[in-house]
Structures are given as C-alpha cells and as structure tokens.
C-alpha cells in the first residue's frame, strides 16, 4: 500500500504581507491569490520494522531514524519531522513506522509558498493513511500551527490555506488566527485570459523570507507609519483585484499589480533590490503593464501582466536576463490524496 498526496503552489496577486501578525491581528488582512499547476507531493509507504525513512527527493536528502513518539528538530528535514511529531502527539499517541518521500516543483525561498505547501501535502498523506477526521480548514490551520508555533518559522497564513483549498481565493485574516476563505466564482473566459497574460518568471535566486518578515513585523510593532500605510494600501489592492477579475476587467490587473508593488516595497527593506528593480523596469519597457515579486520579496519568482500582443516579446526579453519563464496553468484543485 502507498498513500499519495499533492498540493498546489500559489502566486499572490494582491494583499501579500497583510496576513502576517501583528498586522492581521490589529487591522485585519486581505489577500487574493491563485494556485498553479506546480505542486508539492508526498508519498507514504508503511513499514513494520521500527524505522522511519525521510527522503526529500528534490533536495537529495535522506534520513533513517528510529521510530519514536517525537523526532528531534535539529535542522535536518524539520518540516517532515514537525508534521510527524504533531500527528503522533495529537492523534496517534504512539510511534509510527514508514517511508516518506517528498518532492516540490519549486526550490525553497522561491516565493510560491513551497514550504507551507509541502507541509500541507505531508499532512494530507497522513490524513489519508490514518483516516483522520480533518476538513480543509482543520488541515490548513494545523499546517500553520506546525510551521509558526512548533517550528518557530516566520511567515503569514495565506500559503497553507491556498494549498489546501486551491483555486482563486479572496482570503480574510482576523485577530485570533481566524481565517475566511472566499472562493471566487469566475467565468472561465476570464480565467483563461488571466492565465494567458500572466507571465511567471524565476529570477534564479532565492531568499530568506524570515529576515524580511521579521522587519515587517517590527515595523508594525514600532508603529512605523509608512510601512503600516503601505499595508493598508496593499489590502485595498486585494479588493480592487477581486473586482477586476470577477467583472472581467482583466487588463486592469497590470495597473493594480503595479500599484501594489510600489506600496509593497515600502513595507520593509530587502523586499526589492537593484537586480529586481532592473528586471521590473525592463519588463515595463517590453510590454508589461505591471508586476510584482511573489512572496515576501528579495528574490524568487516574479509575475508580470502583459496583454497578449506584448506577451511573447516580454518572454523573449526576460529569458535574455538569465532567469527562466515557467509554463503553468491555473488550477482549481487544492490538496488531493489517494491510496494505491
């Protein structure tokens, strides 16, 4: 028996950063994101020899451990260990023996929510294997709790919910970790046009998002007005983005992305840099009407909106800059699990 799962990575279209405490606790956050045909996947093969095998295929890392109720968090495949520890602590109450294989279609630090999506995929595999009575909100919140509370990893709340629910969602974040996911009912032709005109570009760099998020958090704690106002504006951009997509005003998206990016750079130092600014200006000169970094900033993936007449000249120019334009489709499915 093999238990499998997959969960989609996401791009943030508007409101990114307003899901991070303490801003979301004080002011309430709002984000619009969409999931992609890029995935984190996990497979569990039960064993009966008292061993745990953790194999991160994309990272070429493997651990063989003795099956215990709690695995040591020591910097080696801690996401997998954190998921296992919580499953045993909250549900099984006894050690498990298994082999866990994982793979992610994007590298860590890429800005597509890869770490959180992997946690969701691993949780999904355990839920499928052990027949745990967890719904979508339960899985997303548990993934958030493992990362942010158990493993002390800095970040927001959107990634876990995007990976679990899938699709294009308008998400609202409130004090007390309350989250409401609003799936958008978008006409297929609007989705096709959005997908057609959005260019996904990997800069071939990654970044440590925790440093940026830490500064963003400190700016809110210290009541830095420019950063807080930037976050207010980003939250407003998520509402404008939602209206544009629902009404089919797809060509407005470039301008909304551009305005959001101008404000996002004010939230914290390190969100942009000379290299990112140069890529962005080049994109604007070759047909893009707007764009942004996906994720906390500092590197990873960028997205650009280019009306179709300009899309291919933009792609040619971006590929000349040393990065890679990635083919994708938007997906409606979130976490998916099955047994073979």
Query: Known catalytic residues?
Result: 159
Neighbours of 338 (CB within 10 A): 12
Contact 49, 70 (CB under 8 A): no
The encoded tokens of residue 284 equal 């604007």
The encoded tokens of residue 302 equal 């960028």
Neighbours of 50 (CB within 10 A): 10
Burial class from Cβ neighbours inside 10 Å (0-12, 13-18, 19+) for residue 92 reads: middle
Query: Which residues 6+ apart lie within 8 Å of 125 measured at CB?
Result: 3, 4, 5, 42, 43, 44, 100, 337
Contact 108, 47 (CB under 8 A): no
Q: Which helix (H) or strand (E) holds 124?
A: helix 114-130
């Amino acid at each position: 028996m093999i238990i499998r799962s997959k969960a989609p990575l996401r791009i943030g279209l508007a409101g990114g950063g307003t899901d991070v405490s303490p801003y979301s606790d004080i002011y309430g956050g709002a984000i619009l994101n969409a999931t992609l045909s890029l995935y984190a996947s996990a497979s569990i093969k039960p064993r009966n020899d008292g061993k745990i095998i953790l194999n991160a295929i994309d990272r070429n890392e493997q651990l063989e451990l003795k099956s215990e109720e709690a695995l040591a968090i020591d910097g080696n495949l801690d996401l997998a260990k954190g998921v296992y520890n919580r499953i045993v602590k909250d549900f099984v109450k006894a050690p498990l023996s298994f082999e866990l294989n994982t793979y992610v279609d994007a590298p860590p630090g890429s800005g597509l929510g890869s770490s959180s999506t992997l946690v969701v995929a691993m949780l999904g595999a355990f839920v499928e294997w052990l027949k745990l009575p967890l719904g979508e909100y339960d899985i997303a919140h548990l993934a958030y709790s493992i990362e942010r509370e158990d493993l002390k990893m800095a970040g927001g709340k959107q990634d876990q919910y995007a990976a679990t629910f899938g699709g294009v969602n308008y998400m609202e974040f409130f004090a007390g970790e309350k989250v409401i996911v609003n799936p958008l009912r978008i006409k297929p032709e609007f989705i096709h046009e959005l997908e057609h005109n959005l260019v996904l570009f990997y800069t071939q760099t990654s970044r440590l998002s925790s440093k940026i998020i830490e500064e963003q958090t400190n700016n809110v704690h210290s009541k830095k007005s420019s950063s807080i106002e930037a976050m207010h504006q980003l939250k407003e951009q998520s509402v404008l983005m939602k209206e544009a997509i629902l009404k089919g005003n797809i060509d407005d998206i470039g301008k909304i992305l551009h305005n959001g990016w101008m404000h996002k750079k004010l939230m914290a130092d390190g969100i942009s840099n000379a290299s990112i600014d140069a890529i962005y200006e080049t994109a604007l000169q070759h047909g893009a009407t707007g764009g942004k970094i996906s994720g906390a900033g500092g590197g990873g993936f960028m997205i650009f909106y280019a009306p179709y007449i300009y899309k291919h000249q933009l792609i040619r120019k971006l590929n000349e800059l040393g990065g890679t334009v990635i083919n994708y489709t938007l997906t409606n499915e979130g976490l998916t699990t099955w047994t073979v």
